[in-house]
Amino acid sequence: MDFTLSPEQTQIREMVAEFVDEEIVPVAGEIDHEDEFPRDLVSEMADLGLMGMPFPEEYGGAGLDYHSYALGLEEISRGSGGLGTVVAAHISLAGNMIYEFGDEDQKEEYLTPLAEGADIGAFALSEAGAGSDVPAMETTATLEDGEYVVDGGKLWISNGSVADTVILFAKTDPEAGNRGISSFIVRPEEDDGFYVEGTEEKLGDKGCPTAELRFDGLRLPEERRLGDEGRGFVQALKTLNGGRITIAARGVGIARAAFEEARAYAGEREQFGQPIGEFQSIKHKLADMDTKIQAAKLLMHKAADNKIRGEDYIKEAAQAKLYASEVSREVANEGIQIHGGYGYTKDFPAERFYRDAKLNEIYEGTSEVLRNTIGDQLLE
């Protein structure tokens, strides 16, 4: 097995890393403090082709393989966990739904501006009573005279308040369980009946607005439906499966940021007449942190490799997301410990890494759900 990056992959990683170091890292603290959508930075990323990394060039994308996409998202997340979520929700969820399940007209009209970064995408699946239990959703879409009339609401929608295109899931047959769910393309600025009720004040993931949405008589033409009626649940599962690779990348990126900050601090902070990095207890912490990060990266790339090869990757994506999520939180926690009292203050970014890392264990499949998924795959 060859673990060497190709010249193109190396170039992508270095290009994104340079952008992150020059443009994102210097303002990451401000993004966290202000918690406003960093539209200027997103526009700059669009100019670099980062808002459509894995999509074909014919649809405005960069045509990168999934390894390169994961590497790019890892670097973006190293700079800002919130920006990592902005990109992951935009590409892996919203954009990928249209790419995988849209017809040619839908791809040309809606995927192209997403891949070019002219539009921002969101993925509206979760509801107050339907998080992990997707079939419990209550949002309905009733077909009337060639249009679907949508009523209901969604919660925890990343990019929801700033999105130009929202992929919406609703029940077209409420009696059919998970086989009665369909997906639709919504254009908030064009479609009457779409309302943003507000955004959440979160522990971390700042800069990525997490919105509550409401639909009151929202009317959508039939041609906005993605695929056949009743296929929405299967579409969502497939999309989330691929998205878990990129949440693993977000986890790796945040863990790397926490580790690099802790390592630098350990070389500078002196106690008892020497840098604290000279103490065995700190060396062991750094050794464990880096080892976990390297293992998480391998799981991430294993899942990406399976996806590229067209092999089944349900278990691999779940394992990558599960492990990288928990590693990001563990490494960030040790980063705070190495910083001591300073790590508990906002004078250093160590506490921000911890707050950003925690979300990885919750969204796009909680750690508990992922363990069920892995177990199911093992016992099939």
List, in order, residues 6 or more apart from 241 with CB less than 8 Å away: 313, 314, 317, 318
Cα–Cα distances in angstroms (integers) from residue 313 to residues 64, 72, 213, 294, in the given order: 19, 20, 32, 20
Told to judge if 58 belongs to the known catalytic residues of this protein, a careful annotator would answer: no
From residue 168, alpha-carbon distances to 71, 211, 357 in Å are: 28, 13, 27
Nearest to 97 by CA among 224, 256, 276, 275: 224
Q: Please state the separation of Cα 211 from the chain's center in Å.
A: 15
Looking at 8, 260, 364, 380, which residue is catalytic?
364
Q: What is the dihedral of CA 37, 131, 139, 211, to 10 degrees?
A: -10
DSSP character for 130?
B
> Of 109, 184, 91, 102, nearest to 139 (Cα)?
184
Q: How far is CA 288 from the centre of its chain?
A: 26
Residue identified by tokens 């014919």 is 58
CA distances from 341 to 1, 261, 337, 352 (A): 44, 15, 8, 14
Coil vs helix vs strand at 184: strand
How far is the C-alpha of 167 from the C-alpha of 210, rounded, in Å? 15
The C-alpha atoms of residue 145 and residue 218 are separated, in whole angstroms, by 14
CA atoms within 13 A on the CB side of 98: 34
Q: Can you tell me the distance from the alpha carbon of 121 to that of 285, in angstroms, rounded to the nearest whole number?
A: 39
Give dist(CA 219, CA 202) in Å, integer: 31
Judged by phi (left if over 0) then psi (alpha if -120 to 50, else beta), residue 143 lies in: beta
Residues with catalytic annotation? 364
